Amino acid sequence: MVRIVKKAEVRRLEIVEMAKSLFQTKGFDETSMQDVIEQLGIAKGTIYHYFKSKEELLEAVVEYIVEEEIKQKRTLMSEISGTALERFRVLVERGSTADHNEEILGHLHKAGNMGMHIRLLAATLTKEAGLYAELIQQGCAEGIFQTDAPLECAEFILSAVQFLTDMGVYPWTQEQLFRRVMAFPRLIEAQLKAPPGSFQFLFQLPPNEG
């Protein structure tokens, strides 16, 4: 039998994608490194060459999820026309990584995984900020927004929305969460100097559990 040798980046991606599939179907706790090995038909040494532990593999899967989400949102933005506010709403309503990866991302809420959870939120924020900054720049050109720091505004807004509504980070009561969600539209409008009521659509979004 001819031995197939794959490039390192191809093999690593193959392992990550298989692990993601198994974590989603079997659950993280029920999936072993051996399960991934058997599904791919690779040697034990191969998987441990790339990932020293299942936790390290999980982190790679989470990073992969974030990258895929950003790619999808960039594609979405390239296909959407309209004003900055119209495109802003579509991008926000696109959802988060948690919407399609509940089994995997839910594991990050467990004790001992808070560090990885925070890194996921930070990685998502860093990558998404550029997209929102582009929309803020468009809004400034249209006269809807006013700011000379679109990227920093995007980072501040995303930090507030992603962290302060994440029930895995802050175990708010429903009343506490509601107060914050109610305040977001006005705070965002004040920061961007947008017309009153521009961001009222945020009220329609569910709290972030990712």
Q: Could you give all domains of the chain from N- to C-terminal order, each with its CATH number?
A: 1-52 (1.10.10.60), 61-204 (1.10.357.10)
Among 127, 134, 140, which Cα is nearest to 77's?
Answer: 134
**How many residues can be counted in the chain?**
210
Q: What amino acid occupies position 128?
A: E
6-12 contacts at long range (C-beta below 8 A, 24 or more positions apart): 11/42, 11/46, 11/50, 12/50, 12/60
pLDDT given at position 38 = 96
Q: Of all residues in the chain, what percent carry a pLDDT higher than 70?
A: 83
In this structure, are residues 104 and 28 in contact, taking their beta carbons and an 8 Å threshold?
A: yes
pLDDT given at position 112 = 60
> How far, in Å, are 12, 57, 82, 94, 179 from residue 77 at the CA level?
29, 30, 11, 10, 30
Q: Count CA atoms within 13 Å of residue 145 on its CB side.
A: 26
pLDDT given at position 43 = 93
pLDDT tens for the 210 residues of the chain, in order = 445 556 889 999 999 999 999 988 888 888 999 999 999 999 999 999 999 999 899 889 888 888 888 888 889 888 989 999 999 888 887 755 555 566 666 666 665 666 777 777 787 888 889 999 999 999 999 999 999 999 999 999 998 888 888 777 788 899 998 898 899 999 999 999 999 999 988 766 544 444
Does pTM top 0.95 for this prediction? no
pLDDT given at position 210 = 46
pLDDT given at position 128 = 87
> How far, in Å, are 46, 170, 173, 192, 197 from residue 182 at the CA level?
51, 17, 14, 17, 12
Vertex 35: Cα angle to 110 and 26 (nearest 5): 45
